């Protein structure tokens, strides 16, 4: 038997095109060929279980072999094999409508994945790295003859009698000069680890040595010898393929360690398992996150039937869950099409909302089952939940029942609980509920103290997402506003009808104001005389909530660069009811007035860490003199 022919495509030569357009990701040739070998192995298994194949199945492992001398890589399987006719049908007739269209469409394409899947070029990806590809195969069918196909990268191929004596297929790649990097053992091992680590059929790549007990020596001590054993590179039964009921916590933790050997244990995990309306399995882990937002993204691995595809899961996993770790396996995700198509794909959308829902359900369950444990984890989980709340309305709808607000005493409340808690004291005269928060309880200590003295509660908002979270919550909560404790003096944070009266006369007020203005002499510090509780500090320095938020947003790149370039504007709130201020008002000694005002102002700066450098040195000197 010998036959020559031309591969049926409409352009002279497909291979230069493949080589030219598939210049990235050359390494995926191995994924494609090993996947084919695995498919062939699973097919024979199925035929056997259906009774359509009566022979011995034997050991179905797939073998990848490297011969650096001959410069070949061989992928062998004991799968169902092919007859010469099947080679002609499956290999020669490349299933796409025409190379012209293909070239037109993907002229600008840089993504090998895109082409390979779309046009069923899996096998032909071999020509990215080989200038000659040979198939030696023997079909499982009764009386089948071994066949050999060889092709040198032109459209000419040759089919002759083969030499395989056992059922299955060898794909032999004669690696081309440009691809000699692939003739390296550790390089191949790396590629196999990346793509083939969880394939369902054992993959052998070379051998390793192991020590084995080997009887006893003359003195009766155990003896050992080293033996060569097959190096199996994959775990054929990763946990996501198993039923959750068959798995223990240890199994999930062990798998996590297998995926991320150097990570701390995760907080908890979610086993995904759905077969309608799309097929998806996986395990998602909530890692311990440092409060750094860009920390370890792209830690979710996407598989299709246990073949690794990518760790860029951007469109499949909701943005706010990108920090999760783990695996997702779905044959229903169109892996091989372009980004924009992926975003529009209805399965992808469904998967995205399924994952959102699953995560929300799991969190709700944890909250319900053991609130204390949930609160302990809140520091870590809170980041995701808040991010989810601001970015996905559907998630907010579920999360509003278990999301927690933490106050400066380390207590946690649900939104509803908190509302009830602060309602009696923190409702202003317009019936607006005022939520107070601090971003740094130490730095804003005097303000927190003032609020607490009034019986107000102060929330701690110190994660990177809190800026967004605060604005978002304000939109969601009815008749409510959120104010940072240092955005005004305590009586103005929550304005009530019973504000304390002024003790200063109008004349004194004007006088005190001008004393402070001439003492401070800073254009961005605006003096105002307030009537506060005499117990409060003589001077507070505050920054308007709105201005500060705008500046914060600008700093985070929120596009409000106009605000970003503005100086910090402060209000110097002078407590007109404080005895010290009364003293300034009643004395005629200009020097003393100014000295007192300066000291009171510096004390206010000091309490907020705003007093630095020469001003701080002066202050210390002056204080010593006063003593």
Task: Report, in Å, the least distance between residue 116 CB and ligand ADP.
Answer: 8
For the four alpha carbons of 225, 228, 232 and 233, in that order, the dihedral sign comes to positive
Q: Does 64 bind ligand ADP (CB under 6 A)?
A: no
Task: Report, in Å, the least distance between residue 136 CB and ligand ADP.
Answer: 11
Q: How many CB atoms lie within 10 A of CB 72?
A: 17
Residue 140 or residue 601: which is nearer to ligand ADP going by CB? 140
Q: In the set 106, 123, 308, 384, which binds ligand ADP (CB under 6 A)?
A: 123
**Taking CB positions, which residue lies at the least distance from ligand ADP?**
122
Task: Report, in Å, the least distance between residue 381 CB and ligand ADP.
Answer: 41
What residues between 568 and 587 interact with ligand ADP by CB under 6 A? Answer: none
Residue 123 or residue 269: which is nearer to ligand ADP going by CB? 123
What residues between 344 and 373 interact with ligand ADP by CB under 6 A? Answer: none
Q: In the set 25, 72, 109, 120, which binds ligand ADP (CB under 6 A)?
A: 120
Measured distance CA(25)–CA(313) in Å, rounded: 17
Q: Does 79 bind ligand ADP (CB under 6 A)?
A: yes
Q: In the set 155, 169, 426, 577, which binds ligand ADP (CB under 6 A)?
A: 169
Rounded alpha-carbon distances, angstroms, from residue 292 to 6, 289, 323, 465, 477: 58, 7, 11, 10, 28
Measured distance CA(227)–CA(210) in Å, rounded: 5
Residue 166 or residue 370: which is nearer to ligand ADP going by CB? 166
- Extract the runs of DSSP E, i.e. beta strands, from 374-503: 404-406, 412-414, 433-438, 458-460, 480-484
Overall size of the chain counted in residues: 627
Stretch that binds ligand ADP, among 34-42, 47-55, 386-394, 563-571 (CB under 6 A): 34-42
Task: Report, in Å, the least distance between residue 62 CB and ligand ADP.
Answer: 9
Residue 40 or residue 512: which is nearer to ligand ADP going by CB? 40
Task: Report, in Å, the least distance between residue 87 CB and ligand ADP.
Answer: 8
Parallel, antiparallel or unpaired: strands 156-161 and 168-175? unpaired
Q: Does 122 bind ligand ADP (CB under 6 A)?
A: yes
Residue 111 or residue 544: which is nearer to ligand ADP going by CB? 111
Task: Report, in Å, the least distance between residue 309 CB and ligand ADP.
Answer: 14
Q: How many CB atoms lie within 10 A of CB 551?
A: 21
Task: Report, in Å, the least distance between residue 134 CB and ligand ADP.
Answer: 13
Cis amide prior to 277 (ω within 30 degrees) = yes
**Do 171 and 133 contact (CB within 8 A), yes or no?**
yes
Q: How does DSSP assign 483-500, residue by residue?
A: EEGGGS-HHHHS--TTPP
Parallel, antiparallel or unpaired: strands 203-216 and 222-232? antiparallel
Q: Tokens standing for 122?
A: 């899996």
* Residue in the structure block whose two tokens are 């092919």: 82
- Extract the runs of DSSP E, i.e. beta strands, from 387-455: 404-406, 412-414, 433-438
Stretch that binds ligand ADP, among 76-84, 96-104, 294-302, 528-536 (CB under 6 A): 76-84
Q: In the set 27, 63, 77, 315, which binds ligand ADP (CB under 6 A)?
A: 77
Task: Report, in Å, the least distance between residue 72 CB and ligand ADP.
Answer: 16
Cα atoms in the 13 Å half-sphere on the side-chain side of 183: 17
Chain contacts with ligand ADP (rule: CB under 6 A):
32, 36-37, 40, 77, 79-80, 82, 90-91, 120, 122-123, 169
């Amino acid at each position: 038997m010998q036959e020559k022919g031309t591969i049926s495509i409409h352009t002279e030569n497909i291979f230069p095109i493949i080589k030219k357009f598939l210049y990235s990701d050359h390494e995926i040739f191995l994924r494609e060929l090993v996947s084919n070998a695995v498919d062939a192995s699973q097919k024979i298994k199925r035929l056997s279980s259906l009774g359509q194949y009566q022979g011995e199945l034997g050991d179905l492992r797939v073998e990848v072999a490297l011969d650096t001398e001959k410069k070949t890589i061989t992928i062998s399987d004991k799968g169902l094999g092919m007859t010469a006719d099947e080679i002609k049908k499956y290999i020669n007739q490349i299933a796409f409508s025409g190379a012209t269209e293909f070239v037109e469409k993907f002229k600008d394409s840089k993504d090998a994945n895109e082409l390979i899947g779309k046009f069923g070029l899996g096998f032909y990806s071999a020509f990215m790295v080989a200038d000659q590809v040979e198939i030696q195969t023997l079909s499982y069918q009764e009386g089948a003859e071994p066949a050999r196909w060889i092709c040198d990268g032109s459209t000419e191929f040759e089919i002759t009698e083969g030499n395989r004596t056992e059922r299955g297929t060898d794909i032999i790649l004669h690696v081309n000069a440009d691809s000699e990097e692939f003739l390296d053992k550790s390089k191949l091992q790396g590629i196999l680890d990346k793509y083939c680590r969880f394939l369902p059929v054992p993959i052998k790549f070379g051998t390793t040595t192991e020590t084995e007990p080997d009887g006893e020596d003359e003195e009766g001590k155990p003896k050992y010898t080293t033996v060569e054993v097959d190096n199996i590179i994959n775990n054929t039964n990763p946990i996501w393929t198993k039923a959750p009921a068959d798995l223990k916590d240890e199994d999930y933790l062990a798998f996590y360690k297998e995926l991320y050997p150097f990570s701390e244990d995760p907080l908890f995990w979610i086993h995904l398992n759905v077969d309608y309306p799309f097929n998806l399995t996986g395990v998602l882990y909530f890692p311990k996150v440092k409060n750094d937002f860009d920390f370890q993204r792209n830690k979710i691995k996407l598989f299709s039937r246990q073949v690794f595809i990518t760790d860029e899961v951007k469109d499949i996993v909701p943005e706010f869950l990108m920090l999760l770790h783990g695996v997702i396996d779905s044959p229903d995700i169109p892996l091989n099409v372009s980004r924009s198509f992926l975003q529009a794909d209805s399965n992808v959308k469904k998967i995205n909302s399924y994952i959102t829902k699953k995560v929300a359900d799991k969190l709700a369950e944890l909250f319900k089952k053991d609130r204390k444990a949930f609160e302990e984890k809140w520091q870590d989980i809170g980041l995701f939940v808040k991010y989810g709340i601001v970015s996905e309305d559907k998630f907010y709808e579920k999360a509003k029942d278990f999301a927690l607000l933490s106050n400066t005493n380390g207590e946690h409340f649900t939104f509803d609980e908190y509302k009830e808690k602060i309602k009696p004291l923190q409702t202003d005269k317009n019936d607006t509920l005022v939520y107070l928060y601090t971003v740094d309880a130490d730095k804003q200590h005097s303000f927190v103290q003032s609020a607490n003295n009034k019986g107000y509660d102060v929330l701690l908002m110190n994660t990177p997402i809190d800026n967004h979270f605060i604005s978002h919550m304000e939109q969601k909560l009815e008749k409510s506003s959120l104010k940072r404790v240092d955005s005004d003096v305590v009586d103005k944070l929550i304005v009530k009808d019973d504000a304390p009266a002024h003790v200063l006369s109008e004349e004194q007020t004007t006088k005190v104001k001008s004393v402070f203005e001439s003492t401070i002499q800073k254009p961005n510090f605006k003096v105002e005389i307030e009537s506060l509780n005499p117990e409060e500090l003589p001077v507070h320095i505050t920054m308007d909530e709105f201005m500060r938020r705008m500046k914060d947003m600008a700093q985070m790149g929120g596009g409000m660069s106009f605000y970003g370039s503005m100086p910090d504007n402060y209000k110097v709130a002078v407590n007109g009811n404080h005895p010290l201020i009364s003293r300034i008002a009643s004395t005629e000694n200009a020097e003393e007035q100014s000295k007192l005002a300066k000291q009171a102002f510096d004390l206010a700066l000091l309490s907020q860490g705003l007093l630095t450098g020469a001003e701080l040195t002066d202050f210390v000197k002056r204080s010593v003199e006063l003593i």
